[in-house]
């Protein structure tokens, strides 16, 4: 990623955390039930900036990949803590339906063209 793309993608991060306080909320990180898993789509500039920030904190992060539905059943469905990330609208739609169907609380907000910040809580 070049410097201009990074700055453009990262410029909204402070505003994003102010507008969506749930995106920055982590409690009792030592307890696995309260660990946050970050899902990232590395093709989105906004996600790349967030992923860089998350890596410095040593938090769990996984790539969404081509099939977010398969990812839900393989890794996300049984995750005991919160799940946060920045996704494409289509992936957000799939995760919303799957997570709400499992009784989890789902929050989302558009953060850039083609990118939506999400949080799936334990409900």
Q: Measured in whole angstroms, how far is the alpha carbon of residue 6 from the centre of its chain?
A: 18
109: which strand partners?
117
CA proximity to 107, closest of 116, 98, 115? 116
Helix (H) / strand (E) containing 28:
none
More confident residue, 71 or 53: 71
- Domain boundaries in the chain? 3-121
User: Are 21 and 107 a contacting pair, CB within 8 Å?
Assistant: no
CATH number of 3-121: 3.40.190
Pairing of β 60-63 and β 105-112: unpaired
pLDDT tens sequence across 55-103: 546 567 788 988 999 999 999 999 988 898 889 999 999 999 999 999 9
Q: What is the pLDDT of residue 23?
A: 46
37: which strand partners?
60, 83
pLDDT tens sequence across 7-34: 455 555 444 444 444 444 444 444 555 6
Q: What is the pLDDT of residue 27?
A: 41
pTM score: 0.69
């Amino acid at each position: 990623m070049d410097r201009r793309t990074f700055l453009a993608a990262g410029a909204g991060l402070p505003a994003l955390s102010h507008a969506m306080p749930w995106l920055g909320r982590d409690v009792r990180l030592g307890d696995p039930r309260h660990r946050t898993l970050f899902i990232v789509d590395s093709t989105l500039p906004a996600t790349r900036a967030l992923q860089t920030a998350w890596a410095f904190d040593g938090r769990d992060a996984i790539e969404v990949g081509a099939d977010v539905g398969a990812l839900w059943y393989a890794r996300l469905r049984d995750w005991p803590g919160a799940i946060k990330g920045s996704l494409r609208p289509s992936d957000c739609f799939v995760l919303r339906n799957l997570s709400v169907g499992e009784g989890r609380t789902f929050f989302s907000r558009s953060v850039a063209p083609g990118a939506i910040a999400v949080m799936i809580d334990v409900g």
